[in-house]
Structure 1
Amino acid sequence: MKKNKLIWFGLAFLLTFEPCWADNKVRATGKATIYKNFTQIARDRALDNAKRLAVEQSVQIFIKSETLVQNYE
């Protein structure tokens, strides 16, 4: 009886932490436009874009984002 409890506890423990050793590697390429030679801003936006694409590839949920600017605000 005690052995069965130990086995069930061990199985539950292993199944709980299964995502910890998941080995999914994703490669994504981000793109951004360089405006007025501001390469650092373009680099940051490209990294944000690449991170968003990597999440979309691994989770397979597509993230849609839009920005509307009026009167330069």
Structure 2
Amino acid sequence: MLYFVPEPDTQLWQLTEAIADRRPEAPPYGGRFAEIVPHLTIAQSQEDAVLEEVEADLAGKLPFTSHVASVELWCTTG
């Protein structure tokens, strides 16, 4: 998995907590992790070579600034 962690992460951490408070039946990461790490997933379930290529491509484009305009809560079963 390749992901970005925002700096600072306080606002996204607070947003995650607020969503979790409103939807306690759907805890972050399904409740699997004690610590919440707000992040932006870039690539997942790819071969290591693909992850390395993506990381190398993005390295020259960092840091960047973005704003969260909306959020989606995804719940899966099974």
* Bin of the TM-score, shorter chain as denominator length: under 0.3
Structure ranking higher on relative contact order (CA contacts 8 Å, 6+ apart): 2
The structure with more strand, counted as a fraction of residues = 2
- Structure ranking higher in helix proportion: 1
Query: TM-score, normalising length from structure 1?
Result: 0.26
State which structure, 1 or 2, has the greater radius of gyration over its C-alpha atoms. Answer: 1
